[in-house]
Amino acid sequence: MKPSPRPFKQVDVFTATPYRGNPLAVVLDGTGLSTEAMQHFTNWTNLSECTFLLPPTAEGATAGADYRVRIFCPGRELPFAGHPTLGSCHAWLEAGGVPQGEHVVQECGVGLVRLHREGQRLAFAAPPLNKSGPLPEEDVALIARGLGVARSDIVAHAWCDNGPNWRGVMLKSAEQVMALQPDGAVLAGLDIGVVGPHPTGCDTAFEVRAFFPGNNGLAEDPVTGSLNAALAQWLIGAGLAPERYVAAQGTALEREGRVFIERDASGTVWVGGQSVTCIHGQVLL
């Protein structure tokens, strides 16, 4: 297939300030591109994720989907990810997309994901957890060793698997979370989410960090929607967090990510944040 110009945006997600959140590449027309071409372009961007917008499948359209998104990270396709969901929706709306109903409905690998607008913020309905409940004790001991903390510093833990296979642990304080210098050799192959409470009176309730296997050992994500979605379901459900709070993420990477969490009256957990477009143009694909 001969390359053609396609509309493109690079969006910073979970921030209102450009270059302080988590960047995302969005190809607004992925029609006709092979999986291999999508993966190759994703790898070339050198970003954590790239998305390609497409018309819904026939099944998705019947179920009310407004658009379909394929989400890639270096080396593989993802069934769902949080910051690509918000960033893709932001790009779709900014490009003139009009939802059919009250919510924007995105079709992706895990099925249909609803999003709604709250002023300048978008929020997605957290997909159900594939796995929940406490982690095996041997995992907790390994994570403590890999994070460089005492086992007693992990005050709570749980599976936080909602596509990405996150293992969530809570430390005693946000200060302890920000001071972590994990050992990638010990944590090799694990997706680890760490959360710790900020002192009462702060503008954010928790500090979050996300560690996962990268091309050069352990990597850290600036701001992570899927992890915050899973953490919220765990923490609120266990009575460790209020039904509405704001989490900070990226502080250790000189970012200023803000994730807005709310569990509504129906029990749905909404994960929201602002997005800002930093680059707008075309790519030849």
Place of tokens 């970003």: 47
CA atoms of 145 and 282, how far apart (whole Å): 46
Residue span of the structural domain in which 149 resides: 137-267
Tell me which residue of 1, 21, 2 sits closest to 225, measured CA to CA.
21
Annotated catalytic sites, by residue?
A: 49
Check whether residue 10 and residue 99 sit in a common domain: yes
pLDDT digits (tens, 9 = 90+) for 230-278: 999 999 999 999 999 999 999 999 999 999 999 999 999 999 999 999 9
Claim to verify: residue 84 and residue 155 sit in the same structural domain: no
Residue 241 inside a domain? The answer is yes
**Judgement on whether residues 43 and 141 belong to the same structural domain of the protein:** no
- pLDDT given at position 2: 87
Give a yes or no: residue 112 inside a domain.
Answer: yes
Task: Please state the separation of Cα 176 from the chain's center in Å.
Answer: 22
Q: Tens of pLDDT along 7-48?
A: 999 999 999 999 999 999 999 999 999 999 999 999 999 999
Within this chain, do residues 105 and 169 fall inside the same structural domain, yes or no? Answer: no
Average pLDDT for 195-224: 93
Q: Same domain for 172 and 73? A: no
Q: Are residues 42 and 26 in the same domain?
A: yes
Rounded distance between C-alpha atoms, residue 156 and residue 146, angstroms:
16
Q: How confident is the model at residue 104 (pLDDT cuts 50, 70, 90)?
A: very high
Does any domain span residue 243? yes
In a domain, residue 131? The reply is: no
CATH number at residue 176: 3.10.310.10
Report the number of distinct structural domains present in the chain. Answer: 2
Pair 92, 156 in one domain: no
Q: Give percent of the chain above pLDDT 90.
A: 92
Per-residue pLDDT of 46-93, as tens digits, reads 999 999 999 999 999 999 999 999 999 999 999 889 999 999 999 999
Tell me, yes or no, whether 118 and 153 share the same domain. no
Q: Give the burial class of 5: count Cβ atoms within 10 A of its Cβ; 0-12 exposed, 13-18 middle, 19 or more buried.
A: exposed
| Tokens 């396709």 -> residue | 77
The one-letter code for the residue type at 220 is: E
Q: Are 78 and 170 in the same domain?
A: no
Examine residue 129 and state whether it is found in any structural domain, yes or no: no
pTM comes to: 0.93
132 lies in a domain?
A: no
Let me know whether 112 and 188 are in one domain: no
